[in-house]
Amino acid sequence: DAGVIQSPRHEVTEMGQEVTLRCKPISGHNSLFWYRQTMMRGLELLIYFNNNVPIDDSGMPEDRFSAKMPNASFSTLKIQPSEPRDSAVYFCASTLAGGQAYNQPQHFGDGTRLSIL
């Protein structure tokens, strides 16, 4: 079975450029999460979608970050403009949730390692 697929695996770009990270959740899953992982702050939840609708975006650090889920099989996380402090590994996860999505096992992709120069 295909797991959560993220692209690209690595991204290196210069400060000020727009960055788009992509995620394909596991087929049939109805909840999708975007996380950021750094050495300093660990794994942080950025945003959570349920049935393609953003439910909790309280973790999105600032207006430079935006996320969309146009359909059940695709989501994007965009940073515009990017800054060096955005360098991190960004993970996407999905789960099948009937109600309380946080209580369900989350299936993570292998992440996008983002470096902003």
Partner 1 sequence: EDQVTQSPEALRLQEGESSSLNCSYTVSGLRGLFWYRQDPGKGPEFLFTLYSAGEEKEKERLKATLTKKESFLHITAPKPEDSATYLCAVWGSSASKIIFGSGTRLSIRP
User: 68 pairs with which residues across the strands?
Assistant: 76
Q: Does 48 bind partner 1 (CB under 8 A)?
A: yes
Using CB under 8 A, which of the segments 16-24, 68-76, 80-88, 99-107 binds partner 1?
99-107
Q: What distance in Å separates the CA atoms of residue 9 and residue 25, rounded to the nearest whole number?
A: 15
CB of 23 to partner 1, least distance (A): 11
Chain-centroid distance of CA 10 in Å reads 14
Q: Does 108 bind partner 1 (CB under 8 A)?
A: yes
Q: How many CB atoms lie within 10 A of CB 56?
A: 15
Q: What distance in Å separates the CA atoms of residue 98 and residue 115, rounded to the nearest whole number?
A: 36
CB of 30 to partner 1, least distance (A): 17
Q: What distance in Å separates the CA atoms of residue 18 and residue 40, rounded to the nearest whole number?
A: 24
- Give the nearer residue to partner 1 in terms of CB position, either 71 or 103: 103
Q: Which residues bind partner 1 (CB under 8 A)?
A: 4, 42-45, 48, 56, 58-59, 91, 93, 100, 102-103, 105-111
